[in-house]
Amino acid sequence: MTRAEVTEMILAAKRKKKLSYAEIAKKVGQSKEWTTAALLGQMTLDAKQASKVGKLLSLPPEAVELLQEVPYKGSLPTAVPTDPLIYRFYELISVYGTTFKALIHEEFGDGIMSAIDFNMDLQREPDPKGDRVRIVMSGKFLPYKTY
């Protein structure tokens, strides 16, 4: 069994049981954003979290074990994403990436925003002109060191 096969099992069980990512996250005890990333194969669950997911989704023991292994990070199948929603994030970085970089360097110095010491909150924002997607990302600033 591969981690990709476990992801497919998770998605099938989630669909069959009519569960949302938020409902699963509540059972796991983590945010819906982190839990979704974990269920899609991008994060490592500890034994307790993996056991809860396994029971909730009726996964076999081998799948529960694989949820506890460090995954290969990066889930896009192509360099330029073809999925329209994911492509818009690629477009956002293409257009605003240099702006993010310039402002972070101006306000923090030479360094990066961590995607490891990181959290995210995704919410629906009602708007009379059409609902909006609100995403707040927070990553620790890591300065480059001299040596």
Closest CA to 6 of 64, 50, 70, 45: 64
CA distances from 99 to 65, 84, 93, 103, 104 (A): 42, 23, 9, 6, 8
Instruction: Give the DSSP letter of residue 23.
Output: H
Q: What is the b/e burial string over 19-28, where b = at least 16 CB atoms within 10 angstroms of the residue's CB?
A: eebeebbeeb
HEC string of 28-39?
HCCCHHHHHHHH
Question: Of the candidates 43, 86, 94, which has an alpha carbon nearest to the alpha carbon of residue 66?
Answer: 43
Name the residues annotated as catalytic. 88, 91, 114
Query: What 3-state DSSP class applies to 117?
Result: strand
